[in-house]
Amino acid sequence: MTISWSLDPLLYHTLSDIVCERIIGDIEVIQIALLSGLLLSGFYPMMHKMLQKIFRTYRTINPACKQIVVLHHAMEALVLSILTPIFTYSMFRAFFQVHDIDAVLSDVMICEHLSIMIMIMYFFEIAGRYESPRPLVLLHHILACGDAFLASMCASSVMLKTALLLVYFVCFEALTFVGLFMYRVCPKNKYTSKVIFVGMIAFGITRPLQVLMIGGIAYGSWNDESQEKWQIIFQCILTLLLSSLQLFTLKIHYAVWKKVTLMSEKIPEKIDAVSNTKDKEYDEEYQGNG
């Protein structure tokens, strides 16, 4: 059997009402949400104990709210790294491969289950930032989780496709969180600045791609009478807002990379100049992207 690939499923194919209802109404959605919450609630304290045993710098991080942020970065790096290949495989099959409705349903369901896991992780991060919340991070997470909720309430093709894509692109932040974790526990390691730089490049390249793909879905769905125009417009505005917030953090990401590079090159006078200028911005405000 020959596998056919095309942009048409992404741009023009509309998920039927049956598929949308199955995706939202399936009992597996509730099961995955409960299982994800249960597993993550156990993994966080396990990760915390493990980091305390392995990294002396982690044990000495003060205040405790900063240690919690590093823990979130470690968990996000681990979870996103594991989910990215699975998510990518299912996304390509769902939105770029021409196949029958049963195959679409199976692939979209997998994407939905993985999205739920990432949203549950967002909930933990929002709750864990109670002591020193960062407005940009909280705004981004609340908008993302709110969009997922809206997609479940208005289960149309355009809402589900765009919402799944927005969550999928979160996976490309895995290297960003690896770099931020390394910045806290081993800033002078020769690989830390390299990981941060690669993460910055991957993050910056995928944001315009995110806007382009969601814009393509909006364009392909605009003349579809079964799709609500307000949903298409809303998802486009939300995508632009989330992408702008994400791209804004690149400025801070660059500052972190510059500081780590100076540390690895052992130029103390420049490090002090950088730290004194924007220490708060580097060390506190940039505590997560997305």
CB 61 within 8 Å of CB 184: yes
**H/E element, 5:** strand 4-5
Q: Over range 225-237, report the average pLDDT.
A: 91
Please report which confidence band the pLDDT of residue 82 belongs to, taking 50, 70 and 90 as the band edges. very high
Which residues contact residue 223 at a Cβ distance below 8 angstroms, ignoring those fewer than 6 apart?
none
pLDDT band at residue 128, thresholds of 50, 70 and 90? confident
For residue 226, CA distances in Å to 21, 155, 185, 196, 257 come to 15, 12, 52, 44, 47
pTM for the whole structure: 0.83
pLDDT over 80 at 98, yes or no: no
According to the model, what pLDDT value does residue 198 have? 94
3-state secondary structure of 4: strand
Where residue 127 falls among pLDDT bands split at 50, 70, 90?
Answer: confident
In the three-class reduction of DSSP (H, G, I as helix; E, B as strand; rest coil), residue 216 is classed as helix
Confidence of residue 211 (pLDDT cuts 50, 70, 90): very high
Between CA 237 and CA 240 the distance in angstroms is 5
> What is the average pLDDT value for the chain, to the nearest integer?
83
The model's confidence at residue 265, banded by pLDDT at 50, 70 and 90, is low
Q: Are 7 and 96 in contact (CB under 8 A)?
A: yes
Helix (H) or strand (E) holding 97: strand 97-98
Average pLDDT of span 67-86 = 92
Kindly tell me if the per-residue pLDDT of 186 is higher than 60: yes
Is it the case that residue 89 has pLDDT exceeding 90?
yes
Q: What is the pLDDT of residues 154-181, one digit of tens each?
A: 888 899 899 999 999 999 999 999 999 9
The domain spans of the chain are 4-285
